[in-house]
Amino acid sequence: MRDAIAAPVRRPVHLVSSRDLDRTTIDDLLRRARRMAAHPEEAGRRLEGKILASLFYEPSTRTRFSFESAMLRLGGHVLAAADAPRESSVAKGETIEDTVRVIDAYADIIVLRHPEQGAAQRAAGASSVPLINAGDGAGEHPTQALLDLFTIQQELGRADHLRIGFAGDLRHGRTVRSLASLLAHFDGTELVLIAPPELQLQEDVRDVLRQAGVALRDEPDLGRAIDDLDVLYQTRVQRERFPSAEAYERVRGIAVVDPAIMRRLPARAILMHPLPRVDEIVTAVDADPRAAYFRQARNGLPVRMAILDWMLGPA
């Protein structure tokens, strides 16, 4: 493995935003993830003796379990607060900066999920060990974006010259925000932003995309957007980010993927979703070979193994 994985392109201190990653680094990480997927048996001692602290202030299934599994499969150990607001001193009013300042003495790397946008950046500033953002409110989720990109390459054989439709809650969906920034590094990316105005992608990400020359099209109607897509990336309306139940009810169920929509999605295309899905993809779609979301979730393991190894492993 030491020979197979070349020296890191740029070993990061923290991984807070997709915007921290350049194209060379992205390619290197994807290559490492392919290696992890193909030869998991080579990975078992890469992080022997290292400790990961997983600190989750918001619910998680895939992200937390796959990070913890990745660390264990690399030979490391895990300390976990799966419900940090109850299980840690946050319940006593401690700030995230103080919590991280203490935990960094007990672990070699911290994986943090937090409901506030910007919390990961603040926590990274206080941490003396590498910190990975596993979702900060409606901000970013860079490791999900990397596994999404890995999935696109695995499924379609490339990540350039693709027309990708993002549907659902593009305003609060941190996975879309992070993935869009990664896709800006690839040639010929075209994005179709399928959402009503109140759920549309925010200007900060649009600026990144425009500067990179990405073609953007706003299309509120899912039915009108899908005929020529390579990827339909559906997302959950992020109920927990709405100011009131009424505001959420006004937009829930706005775009549902069902067999009728799938009939119009090209045969070459794939349907992705970061999961959890609520009712925005009906279960009748799951058996369609183009439904890639459970394969996508599985890719979380090799991609997070690659990320941990890249940040913490032997050069």
Site of tokens 């899912």? 222
Query: Backbone phi, then psi, for 125, in 5-degree steps?
Result: -65, -25
- Separation between Cα atoms, residue 312 and residue 306, nearest integer Å: 10
Letters for 54-83 (x = contact with ligand NCD by CB under 6 A, - = none) are: --------xx--------------------
Closer of 46 and 273 to ligand NCD (Cβ):
273
| Active site (annotated) includes residue 92 | yes
Q: Min. distance of Cβ 62 from ligand NCD in angstroms?
A: 5
Closer of 5 and 255 to ligand NCD (Cβ):
255
Q: Min. distance of Cβ 281 from ligand NCD in angstroms?
A: 12
Closer of 145 and 265 to ligand NCD (Cβ):
145
Spot the catalytic one: 73, 141, 172, 304.
Answer: 141
| Active site (annotated) includes residue 113 | yes
Spot the catalytic one: 14, 35, 46, 63.
Answer: 63
| Active site (annotated) includes residue 62 | yes
> Could you say whether residue 175 binds ligand NCD (CB under 6 A)?
yes
Q: One-letter amino acid identity for 155?
A: E
Query: Which residues from 97-136 bind ligand NCD, rule CB under 6 A?
Result: 135
Per CB under 6 A, the list member of 141, 163, 177, 304 interacting with ligand NCD is 141
> Could you say whether residue 139 binds ligand NCD (CB under 6 A)?
no
Query: Which residues from 266-285 bind ligand NCD, rule CB under 6 A?
Result: 274-275
Q: Min. distance of Cβ 98 from ligand NCD in angstroms?
A: 25
Spot the catalytic one: 32, 35, 46, 62.
Answer: 62
> Could you say whether residue 144 binds ligand NCD (CB under 6 A)?
yes
> Could you say whether residue 236 binds ligand NCD (CB under 6 A)?
yes
- DSSP letter string, the chain: -TTTSPPPSS--S-B--GGG--HHHHHHHHHHHHHHHH-GGG-TTTTTT-EEEEEESS--SHHHHHHHHHHHHTT-EEEEETTHHHHSGGGGT--HHHHHHHHTTT-SEEEEEESSTTHHHHHHHH-SS-EEEEEETTS--HHHHHHHHHHHHHHHS-SSS-EEEEES-TTT-HHHHHHHHHHTTSTT-EEEEES-GGGPPPHHHHHHHHHTT-EEEE-S-HHHHGGG-SEEEE----GGGSSSHHHHHHHTTSS-B-HHHHHHS-TT-EEE--S--SSSB-GGGTTSTTB-HHHHHHTHHHHHHHHHHHHHS--
Spot the catalytic one: 92, 263, 268, 283.
Answer: 92
Closer of 133 and 189 to ligand NCD (Cβ):
133
Chain residues in the site for ligand NCD (CB under 6 A): 62-63, 135, 141, 144, 174-175, 236, 274-275
Active site members: 62-63, 92, 113, 141
